[in-house]
Amino acid sequence: MQNHPSYPVLSQLLEKYPATGGALFQVYNDLTLAQKWIDVEVLDLPACKRAAIKGKRPTPDTDRVPSICIVVPCSLSESISASWLRAAFTSLDPLPSEIYVAITSEDTSTVYYKISQGIVKPPV
Amino acid sequence: MSLINQTSRSKASLKPSSRRAETSRVYAHPLPIIFPEPTYKFLGLSLTRPLNPHCTALFDPLTRSAWVSSSGDATLLWQRGFFGKGDLSRSEPSWLARQINARKMKGKALTSEEITAKRRAERKQFKLDRAKAIAAAAAEAETAFNEQGRVIAPGIAPDGTRIIPSAATWKPTSAPVPSEKSPLDVAPDEEEDMEPIQDLEHLQLSLQEAFFLVWALDCLTILHPRTLVHLVFTQNVSFTLAEIWNTFQNAHIPSLVPQPNAPSPLRFDNPFLVSYVAYHHYRSLGWVVKSGIKFCVDYLLYKRGPVFQHAEFAIVVIPVYEDPEDQANSPFKLQNAEPFTWSWLSTINRVNSQVQKTLVLSYITIPAESRVSPKVLSSPACFVHYSVREVVLRRFIPARMRD
């Protein structure tokens, strides 16, 4: 892993939170290399004992400004709770309307879930 | 069919039957080891040795997996048994091909990710069209009622045809726009000036897949991640089977370095052991076993492989302790070991029946430490003490299921 170009960016947080290091590495690579997000930065969320990723998601139609999205990685073997999600929201500044939870599996499959505060009607 | 192996004809020009024949040719071997046709037989026994590819992988403790970086080994392990997954792709490592595709803009032969992206964009457009049609029809019904006091069926035009588009009949009206915006002015002779893209993808094997290849088939060697000794990187050292056995059991402990010492205490309900029992059971019966995270289950079973047909069975691994005392003393909290709720079962069954998969509950019995001494855990011979029982679930609706 040390030879991977993403390692220098993440090395401090991987050492600080080794339990979620695998999920962070996988999600970071998926967003930057496969999904081609831009302006990606990594945030430290001590309340959730992990790092989160903030970036701009590319949109297919160019008239819409790419929106800033926050992704919180976690692995399938963990158990998460509503209070954990609430902590993720409150430790982010400015308070986002929604976050994405990225659940990773050991074979590198990643599923993303959009979590909003309260009940939100889907756009279409 | 993989884009990586360049065929002489593009995918679109192949007829379905010849594409099937091509797929059967590429994915002919169900396992990495090939048993060639016997050239010499003695007393009915074949004397030709099986061909063993001897692949190598690197153990990564943080991601709890084994990485295959050599593209030859990666292709081989994928094509012979669908082992592993590209870490930047949907199935086989195709990231480099996608980047080269995007650069050259030869969009004729698309990788599976690009086909999926195109289909999703079309479906999104269809949903927007449908929402607009519904809103327009509702507005029309409103005005008709307000002005003339008559009620019209909102979805039907006067001549009886549907106004609201349905998924079966909708066609994309405009060609996708983004392709025009890419720089098409890169002349062919300038392509050589662009530096070659470094392949940042690897094939990742889960611990269960890696152990199966190492122990059951003996076609994989796992290397220790490079360590710095006296300011010099040592040569990659390979693990012994005993070290792999211990390291994989210790993998649930978050660590930046592998832990090759025997776990203490030795426990039958180690998460790696329990999930490996299920993996080995189905693999040895000939199923291709892949991760089921996309369908809220543990494993998916394919008859021949993901490229042939969708998975027919979705497996949920449910560990059962022979002795409840072991569960009370356990340092692990295995998933699904507690009694589950009806709502959980209904949710998972519903998700899987919507994608036409049959849900199978796979009960793995964990032997009691009072009956079997944990000393047997020093080697994979302990697997003989576990057992697997399946319960197949189907939703039964008496009113509708009479024919």
The answer, for A11 touching chain B at a CB cutoff of 8 Å, is no
Confidence of residue A17 (pLDDT cuts 50, 70, 90): very high
Residue B37 lies in a domain: no
Strand order in the sheet with A50-56: A38-45, A50-56, A68-75, A98-104, A110-116
Cα separations in angstroms, B266 against B39, B382, B395: 47, 11, 40
| B399, part of any domain | yes
**Interface check B101 vs A, CB under 8 A:** no
Look at residue B358 and give its three-state secondary structure. strand
- Sequence-distant (≥ 6) Cβ neighbours of residue B183 within 8 angstroms: none
Spatial CA neighbour of A99 closest among A86, A119, A116, A82: A116
Mutate to test the interface with A, among B60, B62, B338 (most CBs of A within 10 A): B62
Place of tokens 């701009």: A56
Instruction: Note whether A96 contacts B: Cβ–Cβ < 8 A.
Output: no
- Residue B236 near residue B226 (C-beta atoms within 8 A): yes
Q: Quick check: helix, strand or coil at residue B99?
A: helix
Nearest 5 degrees, angle CA B127-CA B131-CA B137?
Answer: 140
Q: In this structure, how many other beta carbons lie within 10 angstroms of the beta carbon of residue A78? A: 13
- For residue B293, the chain A residues in CB contact (below 8 A) are 76, 103, 105, 109, 111
Same domain (yes/no): B214, B361: no
d(CA B155, CA B136) in angstroms, rounded, equals 10
For residue A19, which residues of chain B lie inside 8 Å, CB to CB? 254
Contact of B84 with A26, CB cutoff 8 Å? no
* 8 Å CB contact between B313 and B329: no
Q: Across chain A, what does the average pLDDT equal?
A: 90
Last residue of a domain, one of B185, B200, B215: B200
pLDDT at B113: 78
What letter would DSSP give residue B214? I
Q: Among the options B282, B302, B321, B386, which is catalytic?
A: B302
B310 assigned to active site:
yes
Residue B98 amino acid letter: R
pLDDT value of residue B7: 45
Tell me which chain A residues have a C-beta less than 8 angstroms from the C-beta of B111: none
Q: Are B335 and B297 in contact (CB under 8 A)?
A: no
Domain harbouring B354, CATH code? 3.40.1350.10
CA distances from B40 to B34, B49, B52 (A): 16, 11, 19
Nearest C-alpha neighbor of A36 from the set A9, A66, A13: A66
Domain span holding position B196: 1-26+94-200
- Would the pTM count as exceeding 0.90? no
Distance between CA B109 and CA B44 in Å, rounded? 48
Q: What is the ipTM of this complex?
A: 0.92
Q: Is B399 helix (H, G, I), strand (E, B) or coil?
A: coil
**Nearby residues of B403 by Cβ (< 8 Å), 6 or more positions away:** none
Pick from B173, B176, B154: nearest CA to B163: B154
Write out pLDDT tens, residues A84-119.
889 999 999 888 989 999 999 999 999 999 999 889
Q: Do both B157 and B302 map to the same domain? A: no
**What is the rounded distance in angstroms from the CA atom of residue A114 to the CA atom of residue A57?**
14
CB nearest B62 (choices: A21, A77, A108):
A21
Cβ contact (<8 Å) for B63 and A33? no
Q: Does residue B88 fall inside a structural domain?
A: no
B38 lies in a domain? Answer: no
Interface touch A108/B62, C-beta < 8 Å = no
How many CA atoms, within 13 angstroms, populate the side-chain half-sphere of residue B85? 22
Chosen domain end from B200, B232, B251: B200
| Domain contains B285 | yes
The per-residue pLDDT for B217 is: 93
Same domain, B282 and B162: no
Domain boundary among B148, B181, B200: B200
What is the structure's pLDDT at B244? Answer: 93
Q: Does an H or E element contain A37, and which?
A: none
For A30, the closest chain B residue by CA position comes to B88
Structural domain tally of chain B?
Answer: 3
Please spell the DSSP secondary structure of A50-75, one letter per residue: EEEEEEE---SSTTSPPPEEEEEEEE
Same domain, B1 and B140: yes
Cα–Cα distance, B281 to B147 (Å, whole number): 70
Is residue B279 among the annotated active site residues?
A: no
Name the token pair of B75. 């292709």
- Could you list the pLDDT tens digit for every one of the 403 residues in chain B? 444 544 444 555 567 888 888 888 999 999 999 988 777 677 777 677 888 999 999 999 999 999 999 999 999 999 999 999 999 999 999 999 988 888 886 555 667 777 888 888 888 898 888 888 888 888 888 888 888 777 776 666 666 666 777 777 777 765 444 444 444 444 444 445 567 888 899 999 999 999 999 999 999 999 988 754 555 555 678 889 999 999 999 998 888 888 888 888 899 999 999 999 999 999 999 999 999 999 999 999 999 999 999 999 999 999 999 999 999 999 998 999 999 999 999 999 989 988 889 999 999 999 999 999 999 999 999 999 999 999 998 877 777 766 6
Q: What is the pLDDT of residue B159?
A: 65
- Tell whether B12 and B149 lie within a shared domain: yes
Residue B43 lies in a domain: no
pLDDT at B186: 42
Residue B386 forms part of a structural domain: yes
B383 and B337 in contact (C-beta within 8 Å)?
no
Counting one residue from A and one from B, how many pairs have CB atoms under 8 Å apart? 88
Examine the pLDDT at A21 and tell me if it is beyond 50.
yes
Q: Shortest CB distance from A26 goes to which of B63, B127, B290?
A: B63
- Across the interface, whether the CB atoms of B60 and A1 are under 8 A apart is answered yes
- Domain check: are B110 and B166 in the same one? yes
Inside any domain, residue B36:
no
Give yes or no: residues B335 and B367 share one domain.
yes
Same domain, B362 and B326: yes
Which residues in chain B have their CB less than 8 angstroms from residue A77's CB?
252, 271, 335
- Say if strands B203-206 and A98-104 run parallel, antiparallel, or are unpaired: unpaired
Q: Using CA atoms, how far apart are residues B177 and A62, in angstroms rounded to an integer?
A: 10
- Burial of B26 per CB tally in 10 Å (0-12, 13-18, 19+): middle
Same domain, B186 and B132: yes
Residues B142 and B16 in one domain: yes
Task: Give CA–CA dist B304/B294, Å, rounded.
Answer: 19
Residues B5 and B137 occupy one common structural domain: yes
pLDDT at B363: 97
SS3 string, B113-170, reads HHHHHHHHHHHHHHHHHHHHHHHHHHHHHHHHHHHHCCCCCCCECCCCCECCCCCCCC
pLDDT of residue B341: 93
Residues B215 and B323 in one domain: no
Q: Torsion angle of alpha carbons B234, B238, B242, B247, nearest 10°?
A: 70
